[in-house]
Amino acid sequence: MDEEKDRITGNEIPEDIEDTAEFEKMDFEGESEPEVADESASEAPEEPWARRKYVPPAQDERPLREPEFRVRGGSYPPEPQRRGIGAMTAIAIALVFTLLGTALGIHSAYNILPGTALFENSKLGKLIAESQTKTEYITTPVVATEGLTIPEIVDMVKPAVVTVTSQVPVGASFFNPQGGTEEVIGTGFILNEEGYIATNYHVVEGSVELKVILYTGEVIDASVVNYDALADLAVIRITGDIEVPGVVKLGNSDAMRVGETVVTIGNPLGKEFAGTVTAGVVSALDRTISIGNSSYQYIQIDAAINGGNSGGPLINGNGEVVGINSAKISDSTVEGIGFAIPINDLKSKLDVLSQKALYVGIAGREINAATARQRNMPEGILILEIQEGSPAEESDLEINDVITEFEGKEVKTVSELNTLRDTKKAGDTITLKVYRNGEYVQIQVTLRERP
């Protein structure tokens, strides 16, 4: 019956095994066949095999490895392993929920919240409502329809441009013990039919003989009418009765814009290059440049100018003169930086500069506040030289006098003195207050035209 039970349960007992001792020798860890007992071995126990049956190992004694293990017709599956949620799976799930939350938030912000009273009464809602009620206008810049081509500008202005030649004295030297004169060349432009010409003061400074070369090539004598040394401006005039070949039109330098096209005409490097035309743009306005002891407000341009261009016209796109070419930065590493005096500076002084200059006949030095404290004297103009035959020589002015007032108005600089002088006319007698030897005295001077 036991045998029958074993067969039913699947624990079939091999027929060639007669003894339990031989049964225990089987290898339960592998698949090998059990060894057959040798007939010559010691006799097996008398107990019949039927009374012994195979008992499977306890549950906790079974192998834990994945593959199945079989024991001659009997088998059992491996214990299933429990698995947890992996790290990557957790990250993926979190990312999905984050995206869903963001999408719902955006949807609410654009479609749900704007329609609520809470949102409309918030600062953001009120700001959006105000911006939606504003009307913005976009304007298109007006394109200028006026303007000339560069050849048209040249044809219009070039006949009024002249070459200015000035003979200035030079001191004696080892190679020239007698001294003499040297020629200074610049440019100018004709202002009116009477033959008045504008140029730079440094072109005619110290001139003892002045000539102009017209557009036609004709050489004409000229003389200095008046000048403003501090502004580097001068007006000269053709002598004799002659018909001028052209007259310029003065523009408004205050209306200039950075980037607009400008043209220059002049005589760079000498007579051989007379009438040279260059073009460029306005690089900057109101450039403050110091030259020597003076500062100037210039228009900066990138048009090429060189020695000999000084006094020539700077012309805008309408053919109007808007500046007087005056200076450039002289450096081998610098190109395209030139400067011009705004034409409005000349226009504001033209009435005075077109009249014969009055003069006092002194050369002096300005005494500023620091020097005045150091030397225990008032601020003013210290007289260092009195010209022979001048109104100053004919008056009681003396060297080392300090001029402090002109007709009761305080003067501290030469510019202030000249400005007041230019309000007078030839033959006027003015009163100067001067400081001399620790006290103030009043001196009368009669003005005359500069010879």
Positions annotated as catalytic residues are: 202, 232, 310
Which helix (DSSP H) or strand (DSSP E) does residue 324 occupy? strand 321-328
β-strand partners of 431: 444
Which contacts (CB < 8 Å, 24+ apart) does range 112-120 have? Answer: none
DSSP state at residue 245: S
Cα–chain center distance at 175 = 51
User: Amino acid identity, residue 273?
Assistant: F
Q: 18: helix, coil or strand?
A: coil
Tokens standing for residue 219:
């050489």
CA angle centred on 199, ends 197 and 203, rounded to 5°: 125
Closest listed residue to residue 294, CA positions, set 209, 201, 221, 429: 201
CA distance 450 to 448: 6
Q: Are 365 and 385 in contact (CB under 8 A)?
A: no
- Could you list the beta-strand ranges (E) of 292-379: 294-301, 313-315, 321-328, 338-342, 358-359, 362-367
**What's the alpha-carbon Rg for the chain, to the nearest Å?**
56
CA distance 325 to 323: 6
- Could you list the beta-strand ranges (E) of 77-230: 161-170, 180-190, 196-199, 209-213, 219-228
User: Amino acid identity, residue 156?
Assistant: M
DSSP one-letter string for 361-374: -EEEEEE-HHHHHH
Which helix (DSSP H) or strand (DSSP E) does residue 91 occupy? helix 87-107
Kindly list the distances between the CA atom of residue 228 and the CA atoms of 67, 154, 205, 290, in Å, as whole numbers in the listed order. 115, 29, 11, 17
User: Amino acid identity, residue 118?
Assistant: L
Q: What residues have CB less than 8 Å from 278, skipping those under 6 apart?
A: 263, 264, 303, 304, 305
- Dihedral angle computed from the Cα positions of residues 111, 117, 122 and 125, in that order, rounded to the nearest 10 degrees: 40
